[in-house]
Structure 1
Amino acid sequence: MARTVKRPGLLQRTPILEWIAAALGLLLTVSLLVYLVGEGLSARNGPPALSVATEAAKPSGGGFVVPVVVRNASNTTAAAVEVRGTLEQGGRVVEERRLSFTYVPGGGEVRGGLIFQRDPRGLRLSVSPEGYEEP
Structure 2
Amino acid sequence: MTMTHHGVQTEKPTPHRLEWTTGLISTLLVAGLFGWVGYEALTAASVPPDLTVHALSTEHLPSGWRVTFEVKNHAPSTAASVEIRGEILESGQPVEESEVTFDYVPGHSKSTGSLSFIRDPNGKSLRLRAVGMAEP
Q: Same fold (TM over 0.5)?
A: yes
Indicate the residue corresponding to 1:120 in structure 2.
Answer: 121
- Structure-1-length-normalised TM-score: 0.73
Indicate the residue corresponding to 2:99 in structure 1.
Answer: 99
Separation in structure 2 between the aligned mates of residue 67 and residue 52 of structure 1, nearest angstrom: 11
Larger radius of gyration: 1
* Aligned 1:24-63 pairs, distance under 5 A: 24-63=25-64
Q: Cα 1:39–1:134, aligned 2, differ >3 Å: closer, same or farther?
A: same
Residues 80-125 of structure 1, C-alpha deviation per residue, up to 9 Å, x if partnerless? 3222222234x43353323131532432444332112222232232
Structure 1 moving runs of 4+ over 4 Å: none
Indicate the residue corresponding to 2:22 in structure 1.
Answer: 21
Greater helix share, structure number? 1
Q: Cα 1:57–1:102, aligned 2, differ >3 Å: closer, same or farther?
A: closer
- Aligned residue-pair number: 123
Q: Cα 1:85–1:118, aligned 2, differ >3 Å: closer, same or farther?
A: same
Separation in structure 2 between the aligned mates of residue 32 and residue 44 of structure 1, nearest angstrom: 20
Q: Cα 1:103–1:74, aligned 2, differ >3 Å: closer, same or farther?
A: farther
Tell me how large the CA RMSD over aligned residues is.
Answer: 2.4
5+ residue gaps in structure 2?
A: 1-12
Q: Mean Cα displacement is larger for which, 74-83 or 37-46?
A: 74-83
5+ residue gaps in structure 1?
A: 1-11
- The alpha-carbon deviation at position 24 of structure 1 amounts to 0.6
| Percent of aligned pairs sharing the same letter | 30
Separation in structure 1 between the aligned mates of residue 45 and residue 114 of structure 2, nearest angstrom: 30
**Contact 1:85 1:114 survives alignment (8 Å):** yes
Question: Residue type of the partner of 2:95?
Answer: E
